[in-house]
Structure 1
């Protein structure tokens, strides 16, 4: 039986608010949509934080360059971090003609013999998906031979963009890993964090607060994750989607199969971090836990507000344009609002319909939701009188041309802005950008020019 997900079902998700009437699909493929990252990229990004698993690209060597090491997703795994090694079958013209299944099987054998992973994720790419290589059969046989999960991930780039690739990755884990192992013990406060990739260590900004409250993270999908832990995820009491609503299909199906309820939270900024902690406690339904959570929130907010006092004057009256992707369209906007910065525009080009709705809710009716930021952001800066642009590295040149401050908040960033303490890091970076004279000087004419 094929494990290929039904793409149409993933596009029309009943758990999405805007899909209830079944008239509008989530990020349906459109011509040119994959130029911002294809389904393979999304699947790799979703699964790469599993450092104890090998990630094997069944396709041309060039396919491994799309997502490998594009995000800093640190791990506390004591063994060898296999995400630092790129594996690919490097199929050639001969494999297209005669089939690449033998090469794939040999590649899995080599990886298991030489690297001893806890699992092997096998990613199908456009070429073998078109030529018909049966990666399900190869993975099933190698799972039986080696005694470790070999998981087929059917995410060839042509099926859609990154968000769809993340959903496909969730389907693969749900079908081949979750429910295949029992935990050593359970607690009344076991949760799974779904969609938390631990970018720049953001998970570590708030996990210690959960532990202080007695809430155990049974597994994560997939930041600082372990294969053994995700296999036990069916015994959690609650699933917590961290920002990324692209994985709502996964949590909805876990609720149907295992009876695990789910909620969605963000841990960017003070307001959302506090709301997220309280939402988890309330969903777990323990009165004492809720009371202790409220006390912890009061303590952390009082501490943070005191530390933010020196920044308030710097940010007074400042306006920002936010050009990033997915859930960051609204989650980082919330953090900026906590600092007293008005967000006048945000990019929703790579956001789900749910993310777009949240962006509008957070920013209000007057804010601009940019659908084509590459052509819009310069004009928006002029129209709104923005003082600050937060985006990826490519937008630095727009900030220089418009002579406004710039801060990199994309996935390639090296600092963590998550949780309470992350807001302080963000405040310091924004202050340094706003007070940096280079943005005022770099585009100025030379003294001898008229």
Structure 2
């Protein structure tokens, strides 16, 4: 299924090919904003006093950014051996530029990214294995959520340490529910219940075919891959659980996609062409009654004064699995011993009891370790997102699948957009897309 990097020559060719591709894309998109300045040098430069300086690239540009910076500041103040500097940029920008920067020895020492993307970059040789981090009892990894740890495993090797782990939840606007004659304390629990609410929650006052209000805000590109997880509800999926077989053409997958494409395209449950940022804005401004997203948006929704509730996403007819989101951080390949040791010191602090209490309290994410859950009292959201009956339903999308990023960006999302725009039906588009996915898996 995957290209094995068993020799230095093959690994080098993989890196060169990836760097060329990333470089072309970076040039094409050189106008993107929010790009960091690099400067980590990939060598954990030490100052005259022996302190190791680490550059940490990540994409926490949202309301959770200050919480991340708070943990970093606390870590820097807690000791005098390591100094971490965060460079924050949009996730898509990070993915575009990181391979080129690392290969040029002008990139970060630590990189955070979706655990689902880590196999792709690990296969390209960008990350150093971190199994020795987990084997060191001093790092207290036994307290961490096991699913969060395993999310960054590729070909039996772990390349990441969790930054966060959270299920996606459904935010719903209670005022819009009440205005539609719906019980504001009874959000939909199944797909059929949600579908029955769509005609009431999608409002086209002047009948021009462009609703002023939508039942939901469901992104179809540059977004948390909620749409990609929906086939789980009918027993389908993008790939099989073992990561070897495409499932995009399976009847169960087609059933799910037909259900949701019909809701969005024909019943106008959501606008077409929403990015993740667009979806957030639509809910934030009271123009969408629901949105499935993570806890990083709670601060923004609170500041907007929304009267909202949070509930598990509606369950499908065959499964109530919920998309789980894991962000992991890894050490870039080629790091010397001092850099790796310094990075591990930061990782251990991040996932310590103090670090996780600070992170969860400030961000709304559930802590990565259950033994501090009752100590997170400043925010109600970690308990909501980390509730056992919710967390037990969480499932990681494309875990351990090296071409997962390619499958999403070049196959699934473009195919979905064609179906939503009426450029073919689900049944005509996705079997061909399934063949393309299988070709990626077989490389």
TM (normalized to structure 1)? 0.29
Larger-gyration structure (1/2): 1
More helix by proportion, 1 or 2? 1
Q: Compare relative contact order (CA 8 Å, sep 6+) and give the higher one, 1 or 2.
A: 2
TM (normalized to structure 2)? 0.29
